[in-house]
């Protein structure tokens, strides 16, 4: 099961700067049934002014606020590229 899912999962902990960079570079939001780029206007209208910009969303995700379920349902999962050097695991 892990061999099938390994291409879709990133392992380990993330630091604040990497999360911030991912949100700016690869962040998309779900509005209705469409995938739209993550902008401050989309965030402010969706959360009714509680969160006004991407920085506030990044801090809320990293600190684990009470609205984390609502925030994560608003965001699309990040699409990461494959490893450039390939995967060199144990061939057993």
% of the chain surpassing 90 pLDDT: 40
Of the ranges 2-6, 11-15, 16-20, 25-29, which one carries the lowest mean pLDDT score?
A: 2-6
pLDDT digits (tens, 9 = 90+) for 55-82: 999 999 999 889 899 999 999 888 777 7
What is the reported pTM?
0.71
Residues 34-61 have a mean pLDDT of 91
Distance CA 2, CA 90 (A): 14
Distance CA 54, CA 20 (A): 8
Burial of 51 (0-12, 13-18, 19+ CB in 10 A): buried
């Amino acid at each position: 099961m892990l061999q099938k899912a390994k291409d879709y999962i990133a392992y380990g902990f993330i630091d604040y700067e990497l999360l911030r960079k991912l949100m700016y570079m690869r962040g998309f939001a779900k509005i209705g049934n469409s995938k739209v780029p993550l902008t401050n206007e989309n965030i402010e209208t969706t959360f009714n002014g509680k969160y006004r910009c991407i920085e506030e969303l990044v801090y809320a995700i990293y600190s684990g606020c009470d609205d984390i379920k609502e925030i994560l349902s608003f965001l699309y999962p990040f699409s990461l590229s494959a490893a450039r050097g390939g995967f060199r695991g144990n061939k057993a």
